[in-house]
Structures are given as structure tokens and as C-alpha cells.
Structure 1
Amino acid sequence: MRIDSEKIDQLIQFALLVAGEEDHYTDRSLGPIHLLKYVYLADYYFAMRNQGSTYTGIDWKFFNFGPWSPEVHDRVEPALKAIMAEKFTGQSDYNDNDYTRWSLNDENRLRIISTNIPPAIRVKLKRDIHKHLKDTDSLLAYVYSTEPMINAAPNEHLDFSLLAETEGSVSDQAQARTLSAKKQKQRLAAMEKLKIKRKESNAIKQKLVAPVTSSRYDDVFDKGLDWLERLDGPSIEGDQIKIKFDQSIWKSELRRNGKLS
């Protein structure tokens, strides 16, 4: 599929203009890394409704801690200059490099660009932008958990065909609703059984031993405490430990089912 630069530009502009709806000026600014991830999410949502086909045609890659595309990164500045967005740079608190932020509040332009964004993208992407804005950590955590990412290893290309059956057909959805109704009945029946058991257990009163209300700090207590400390072994010294994982961890079921992050 050929990369569509016009679609990429519109998504970049859309993301910045949506952020521009925020009340506080500081919340309206986005950097290239945020805009790139929002374009990825646009392809992600579109693929979910279009049998794994992306909207932009970008060949996304797993790079560092998220999806990456040099084509999108290169389009950020020209796309935002085209709508006369404000650009400003600042000194990073973490290194000697400068950072770039873009900002623009333009309701009329947002309304026009929104008409070109497919419904399969527009609603969900707008929700995500207002939720994460320029919060890099939360945005990266979210895109990192998407199916193309958790099924790839670093430097591999992302496979959006995994999303071909995500939404499911009408019959699949109807079947899911039926199954949900059956499960609901099963849960109600189980709850009724629990209620009956609770009533039966309450009917049989058991006399419980009164708990100890005060501790006894005597020789037996000291010996027991000393024994437990010896079982615990020597104390751990404050030190740095480097752990190396096998590369197969990227393809493990633990990572795919969300138990490993």
C-alpha cells in the first residue's frame, strides 16, 4: 500500500487542533513524539474496522518504546507550518538537547479538517488526545499495549492484520450478546446458591475462641523473633543489579496476555 502524505498531514493537523481545544494553554502544546503516536493510533483504529488495512499506508516499526515511522516524523513540521501553528523550543530537564512543541487553537480549521477524518478514527482518536495530550508516559504505555506492538519484537515491522477480526461481524456480535445473556443467567443462579449456603451456615452457630487483645513481649517472643530473622538470611545491601532477559520474551504469552509489561 502506498503511503498517503496528505492523510498523514491531516492527521497531524487534526491531533494538534484537538489538543488546541483544551482550556489551559500549557495543555494545548504537543511535541513530534506525541503527534507521531497519535497518527499510529489513527492507523490502529482504522485497521480495526477495515480488516487490518491501515489508513495511511505507513510501514510502522517497533523502535525503542513504541511504534515509529520516519515518514511521519518528517511530515510534522511541514504539516503544521501549512496551518500556521506556533512552534517553540525549550531546554530539556533530562539532557542537553532542546525540545520542540507546537500549538494552535482554531475551531473553524478543526471543523473543516474533521470532515476529512473517517468516523472509524475521529471519535476514538479525539478521546485519546484529550486523555493523554502531552503526557508522554501514559501515551507510550497505551500504544505499547496495542496488539501490533505486543506481538512484535524490537526493530520488527508491525502487523496490523492481527486486527482483521477485532470488531467481528454482525453475527459474531449477536452471538456474543447471546453468550453474555447465558453467562448472566449462570451468574444469577450461582449467586442464589451462595445465598442459600450463607443462610445455612448462619443457621449453625459456632462458638469462636476470643482473640488475644494484647501482645506478650517476653523471652519466648524474643526467641521467636530472633529465629525468624535468622531464617530471613543476611540483609540485602543497597546495590544496583543488572538483569538480562532472553530475546524470546518478546514473543511470550505472558507479554501478549498483559501479565508482563
Structure 2
Amino acid sequence: MSNEHVLEFAALSDTGCVREHNEDAIVVCADYGCAILADGMGGYRAGEVASAMTTQVIADYLCSKLDTAWLTKLGLPRLKLSRWMVDAIELANRHVLYSSQTNAECYGMGTTVVLACCSQDKLLLAHVGDSRAYRFRDNKLTCLTHDHSVLQEQLDAGLVTEEQARFSSIKNLITRAVGTQESVSVELHTHDLKEQDLYMLCSDGLTDMLSHDEIQLILQHSSDDLSLCSKALVANANAAGGVDNTSVVLFKVHAIRNLSWLQRLMVR
């Protein structure tokens, strides 16, 4: 249907009001329509190592693949890009695990990750852990990812309500992470892109501090200026307590242009 998309990006990461170090990491590959956000965990500064390593390994892997893919001039097949996204996260998992096992200061470290790549008129999302991706369309905010966490399992089972979950003492216990086991299970989904869609990747430092409705209200007021919007999200999270690092990546779809008949044939 369509191939070229014009995207605008903004990103911001903040230590918050309580933590001494920022264990979140962000890499935006605007030329390739990709963004990566990770929220690390571990011993002294080890979370910083895990998240930085993961985002950089994924970015390097994807950019190298996309640089050499001649099909990008016609439109890269989504199945190939999906495979590369999973391969990139699996590669990052091996790197983080090896560093954890060979460096005493990094023992036990790991990280969440959420990866977004735009391909033709589709958004591909891959994630591990509880960092999230949202879509803001027609003034309505929708969460596109499903947390890999103990609390989410309780929600799915109907053991707690959404309101109870906001104040749960186990909200940060995740069931999947990059770098903690030999293999990692990556969840991958595809969504339709539409012009004027706004997408947000975020760490739980945002969603633990602000409710769904509060985030939606900020986007409704500030989405015309992505830089201002990212600052407003972080500022409001800090004003609510800022007990964790807060990171956001915003990107808006400004245009989607049609493929030629040859391009449509090639991307199937």
C-alpha cells in the first residue's frame, strides 16, 4: 500500500528525584525509522551497563543490516525486518549475559527493552520486560505492549484491579529480561501506521508515576511539539515523586507515500 514515511522524533531520559544513577538508555536511528529504549537492573551501576549495551548492540546490528540491504530502496520485506529485530535482541542477550558472567561488578545484571521499527505502512514492535509502547491516535492513548511481569499475570488472572495494581509492592518484578538467561523470549507484533499517529516508548518510571489518563491528557495538550511533550511527561513524573529514572521516545508519522506496483510486489 505505502512505503515512505516521514517521521519526527524526540527523546528524553531523566534520572528522577530519588535515584543517583540513570539506568535507562535510549538510541534513536531516525534515518531507519527505528527507536530503542531499555531500563536496566543490577548491582552498582550494572543496570547502566546492561541497558547501554543492549541499545547499542541492537542499533549497531540493525543499522548494519539495513545499510547493506539493497531492498531498502524498494521497501524491505517486513518478515525480514522482524527476523532482524528478534536476532538483534537475542544478540544483545548474549552480550549482556557474557558480561554478567565474566565481570564481577556486573553479576546478575539485566534489562528490559522495547524496540520500534517502521516499515512501509506498518509499525513493528518487539519487547522484553515491562518497558512499554503506546499509540496516540485521534486523541486516544492505547498501550500496544503487554508487560512481562508478575503483576501483569495477576491482572490477567483477575486477582487485582488496575487501581490496585498502581500501588502494588511487586510492580517491578518482571518475568522476562535481556541478559539473565541463555535464551530470551521476544514478543513481536505489527500494527498499522496512519498519518498523524503519535507513538511513545517509555520506561516504567513514567507509568509508575502517572496514570493512563494523566499521560493521555499531557499528549492531548502537547503533542504538536514533541520536544515540549517529552519534557512535560518527564516533568510531571518527577512532580509526582520521580522515584525512578524516566525515559520517553516520541515519534509522529507526518506522511506516508504510495508504493509503485514494483515496490508492492517486492515487499510481500
Decide: shared fold, TM above 0.5. no
Larger RCO: 1 or 2 (CA < 8 Å, sep 6+)? 2
TM-score, length of structure 2 as denominator length:
0.23
Structure of greater Rg: 1
Using structure 1 for the length normalisation, give the TM-score: 0.23
